[in-house]
Structure 1
């Protein structure tokens, strides 16, 4: 059971990498924003049926949450649109190296300040060194 969640995360990463290339190709034919719209539309339909047949939560509870907690969809649309724009230019691996760098930096900021209701985990020298090395690897990964 301990391995289930890391394995699911790996499967999620595989899906996102494949999705990026697929959406990049779609974007070349339909346009960047149009591709994002198509992708979110199909995803919305898939989730609609998943909620309809398997959902156990309460969609109406979304009206009671702080409004900033509804920004996830906008951030997802921003990410997807940027991915569709960037992948055909620099490839999936280079795009993901940069995406991961952005995720880790923002994650460290969120942890350091305890943003969005998270537990505060202050930045230390080891984390700062890891972020520096992350950017060194990003440079090496993209330097031709």
Structure 2
């Protein structure tokens, strides 16, 4: 296992928690949809600069991909907008744990069906226990 990728992704997770808090506060000041728009606009600018100076792909290939592969942006809007709405109401920790529960349950379904990655990993007792424990964790974090 390449630990640099694991560390990088852990830092991305930390970024998601910080981003949630920042976007939640921004949403209270300028509005929820407006905060999501500002967040995506700044992110788009940063990605444009990264693509110009470090990109190695071909953006024009986007015209030949299956259209369903373009839904990532729509799903990103759902994530950012839900964080902007939820953080001021339920806090950063509950929002992030809820996102994690949704991610893990959905990824287990995708693994079980062998979708996207192509590798099929059956849902078993260990995974069921993990989902139950995640539900308990979410309950304990949300309960005040």
Instruction: Give the TM-score taking structure 2 as reference length.
Output: 0.96
RMSD: 1.2
Shift of 1:53: 1.0
State whether residues 23 and 39 of structure 1, in contact with CA within 8 Å, keep that contact through their aligned partners in structure 2.
yes
Deviations 1:81-135 (A, max 9, x none): 0000001111111111111100000000000001235311110111111111111
3-state SS of 2:108 partner = helix
Shift of 1:137: 1.5
1:128 aligns with: 128
Provide the aligned length of Structure 1 versus Structure 2.
Answer: 144
State whether residues 110 and 118 of structure 1, in contact with CA within 8 Å, keep that contact through their aligned partners in structure 2.
no
Consecutive unaligned residues of structure 2, counting only runs of 5 or more, are none
Structural mapping, 1:1-144, within 5 Å: 2-144=2-144
* 1: CA distance, partners of 2:118 / 2:79: 22
3-state SS of 1:120 partner = coil
Instruction: Give the TM-score taking structure 1 as reference length.
Output: 0.96
* 2: CA distance, partners of 1:99 / 1:117: 21
Shift of 1:140: 1.4
* 2: CA distance, partners of 1:95 / 1:139: 12
The structure 1 segments of at least 4 consecutive aligned residues displaced by more than 6 Å after TM superposition are none
Shift of 1:71: 0.3
